[in-house]
Amino acid sequence: MNIAEAASLTGLSIDTIRYYERATMLPSLPRDTRGWRHFDPPALDWLKILERLRATGMPMAEMRRFAQLVFDRNDDAQAAMQERLEILALHRKRLAQKRAELAACERFVDMKIRMYSADLEALNADP
Note the pLDDT tens digit of each residue in 1-37. Answer: 999 999 999 999 999 999 999 999 999 899 889 988 8
109-119 residue pLDDT tens: 999 999 999 99
Average pLDDT, the chain: 94
pLDDT at 32: 87
pLDDT at 100: 98
Amino acid letter for position 42: P
Percent of the chain exceeding pLDDT 90 equals 83
Assess contact for 38 and 30: CB atoms under 8 A. yes
User: Environment class of residue 92 by beta-carbon count within 10 Å: exposed (0-12), middle (13-18) or buried (19+)?
Assistant: exposed
